[in-house]
Amino acid sequence: MVVADIVRLQGIYRIFGFLDDVDSSRHGAEFCGASILGGEKQLGLLLNKGVKHILLGFGDCKMRLELTGSLQSRGFSLPVAVHPKAIVAEDVTLGSGTVIAGGAVVNPGTRIGSSVIINTSASVDHECIIGDAAHICPGVHLAGRVLVGQATQIGIGTIVVDRVSIGARTFIGAGALVINDIPDNVVAYGIPASIKKRIDK
């Protein structure tokens, strides 16, 4: 719903429809002013109908990372969607398929990878690097020069102090205060955030 709203507010693309591989009972249903066309099996038909652009509007970071390359190899383009009420500095690099929600602020010198979500009212300060398919959840605040690895989720309301590195495929729980580096493939949360368990790759 949020991504569809951003696309409509941008006024660049018309929404042809939605795909849902999670709940097949929704196929054919009306949703956000269009309809749910089916699942991934519809991709070939959509290309034949002239649909060239796809956005990944779901939170599963690992799946967004996997599907980004797959969709591009099939000939789809993943456009960038930036809410008109977001603030993005002029020199920020935005990778394909990235979504910036309303109220978000992305400051100068920041590099954002492909299929990243910078969610509602999140702030990403100067010279941060956000890896492909990461999710910066609503209300997160990243200080300057923070590194977030690919397919990592930073939970709602988290604060990350300057120059901290957070690894790939890691999950930072809601409301955490991250003051030290966090490695790949872990769950961490708390004040200050500490590692609670490892994630199987």
Q: Tens digits of per-residue pLDDT, 126-184?
A: 999 999 999 999 999 999 999 999 999 999 999 999 999 999 999 999 999 999 999 99
Three-state DSSP state, 189: strand
2-73 CATH, one of 2.20.25, 2.40.50, 2.60.40, 3.40.50? 3.40.50
Environment class of 78 (CB within 10 Å of its CB; exposed 0-12, middle 13-18, buried 19+) = buried
Helix, strand and coil in the chain, % to nearest 5: 15, 25, 55
Asked whether the beta carbons of 10 and 19 are under 8 A apart, the reply is no
Residue 201: predicted pLDDT: 67
Give me the residues paired with residue 100 across strands.
82, 118
Over range 112-133, report the average pLDDT: 98
**Fold designation for 81-193:** UDP N-Acetylglucosamine Acyltransferase; domain 1 (2.160.10)
- Residue identified by tokens 């519809």 is 42
Over range 49-76, report the average pLDDT: 94
Q: Tens digits of per-residue pLDDT, 3-41?
A: 999 999 999 999 999 999 888 899 999 999 999 999 989
User: What span, in angstroms and rounded, lies between the C-alpha atoms of 120 and 195?
Assistant: 26
What does the domain layout of the chain look like in residue ranges?
A: 2-73, 81-193
